[in-house]
Each structure stands twice: as C-alpha cells, then as structure tokens.
Amino acid sequence: MIVLGIETSCDETAAAVVVDGANVLSSVVSSQVAVHSPYGGVVPELASRKHVEAIVPVVNEAVSNAGIDSGMLNAVAVTQGPGLIGALLVGFNFARAFSYTRGIPYIGVNHLEGHINSVFLEPDPPSFPFVALLVSGGHTGIYHVRSHTSFNLMGQTRDDAAGEAFDKVAKMLDLGYPGGGVISRIGKSGDPANIIFPRPYLGKTDFDFSFSGLKTAVRRYIQTHLDEYQQHIADIAAGFQEAVVDVLSFKIINAAKKMECNHIAVVGGVAANQRLRERVLLEAGSIGIKVHMPSISLCGDNAAMIAAVGYHHLVKGEASGMGDDVYSRSG
C-alpha cells in the first residue's frame, strides 16, 4: 500500500510517500524556523499562513521525489491532532480534498502515534511490547506500547514540555530559536558540574515530569548573577541540559524495569539531543536493554511517520469521514 503522509501540526509543512508503513520513498520538510526565530517561538497565525503557501509545492515535491504518479497513491494519512488548530486545518483539509478528488481513503492520525512509530522506519525496529519516551517541544511522556496503534500513557509532564523548556531557557540567555540545538552546541564547551540545577521529579516513583521549576531556577540564577552570568553561559547551558537529561534517562530506564521490557524507544524532536542519546544508550546498555532511536531527520516533525502509522490503521479497515475534524489536545 502506497500512502501519502501529510504533517502540519506546528511549524513544519511536511509530506512523504511510504510503502507498507516501512519503506520511505520520499520525505520533504519545509521548515519555518526563519519565520518564527525573531519571536523566540512559534506564532500560530504566521504558521498557518506559511502552511497554506507551502502545502501544494511540498506535496508535489514528495510525490515527484518518490518517482511515482499521484494516481498510484492508495491512501492519504494526515495529522489530525494534537497541535495548533489553524496549522492542523491546513493539512487536514488538503488531505480530505485530495482523497475525495482521487477516490481514495484518508485517515486522520494522532501526531504522538506518529512519533512512536518513527522507530519502525529504521532497519532494526523494537519488538512489542516496549516503552517509549516521547520528548519534544510540545509533549513529554512515557508510553507502554503494545502495537503500532495501541499504547498506554504511563506519565507525562505536569507543565512545560522538555523542548519548550529548552526554548525558554535559550530565550533567557539570548541564544536564539529553536533552543534545543543551540543549548546542546554551546553546552559542549561548558561544565555541567559548575552550576547545579534541580532535578524535578527525580525522586518520585511515578513517571510524570515537571520542567517549570527547572526553568525558574535558571531565571533566578541569571537574576542573582546579572553582572557575571554572561561569562558563564556555556556552564549554564551545560548544567541545564544535564538536569533535563538526568530526569529523562532515569524515568525511561525505570519505566522499562517496571514493565519488564527489554526494548525502549526515544522519539520526538528532543531525541535528536546528543547528550540524551548518549546517556540513554549507556544506562540502558549497562542493564541489557536495547535502545531504539530514529535517525535525526526523523526525530522532528515529519510526514513519513504519519504515513507509517496511517498505514497500520488503514490495514485494519479504519478511515476518516468527510465530517471529521482536527483537535488541539489528546484525550
């Protein structure tokens, strides 16, 4: 089955062509980073307008790169939520019209399911069941995954997502947007032991997260060291990143132990963070747990993962109707 995937949940306009939920023929992502950088975060109205401008050329490019004719597509999978309503509507309405005019089914899928299924686009996917840490700009949670379309939430952030905290701390330090990449890069030259920030929820036995207090701790450090903090930005970045990584790695390893899973996955935009990848691989490997992470190009929002999870819903006979709508939040 050849599925066209479409993703417009936030600030990337993406389209991909995937065969049987695993073989990626093409994946195109049009980023809006340059548009939103002056504001230090995503501006929803601007994101929606840019999606309208980009959706047709991005889809055309994905189909062309796949080396197929659009008439060869068997179905369309599109992000239905969660995300920014205006942004979601652009992709969802396009997919609905595309499927209608071509007489093929379309399926609206959960963006988070897409991230979890991104590891199945790699050569050595995990065996079911496994636990997944989904960590991005808008979401941070741990899931017990039983199949491509069935998973239970074990814990999630009570406030800021980890990626959101990276962005906000980068803005405090005037490092630019998006924050994850720049903090990772600058933190390499810093010493995380020089400035110790709190590890929120590290001592709790559940699998929830909280990053608001950590973000506040960074702000207080800056406020109490106004005359000198700029000389220690690398240490601040390293200390902040290490605090986040400590909590994320501790929680996912303990979730795997609790569920007696020998496989874990780390997915989402923050899964591209090199320090997080190193720590989870090291700690999981030391106790015989195999780690699965998507390649860097599949960590961020992309349409290949949407096409992949859409395929698994479609083969079960599921499809969306013309009256379906998008949603901003899960559950």
Residue-wise pLDDT for 33-92, tens only, equals 899 988 888 999 999 999 999 999 999 999 999 999 999 999 999 999 999 999 999 999
What's the pLDDT at 330? 72
Q: Give me the residues paired with residue 141 across strands.
A: 134, 156
Domain residue limits, the chain: 2-116+299-314, 124-293
Angle between helices 212-224 and 162-172 (to 10 degrees): 10
Beta strands in 96-177 (DSSP E): 106-110, 130-135, 140-147, 150-156
Q: Minimal CA–CA distance to 245: which of 216, 283, 301, 285? A: 283
pLDDT value of position 331: 59
* Placement of tokens 């990772």 in the chain: 184
3-state secondary structure of 29: strand
Residue 88: name the closest of 111, 65, 105, 71 by CA.
Answer: 111
Matching fold, domains 2-116+299-314 and 124-293: yes
DSSP state at residue 157: B
Looking at 3.40.50.720, 3.30.70.3280, 3.30.420.40, 3.40.50.1000, the CATH number of the domain 124-293 comes to 3.30.420.40
Tell me the residue length of the chain: 331
Rounded Cα distance, 114 and 148, in Å: 9
Which parts of the chain sit beneath pLDDT 50? none
Fold classified for 2-116+299-314: Nucleotidyltransferase; domain 5 (3.30.420)
Judged by DSSP in three states, 3 sits in strand
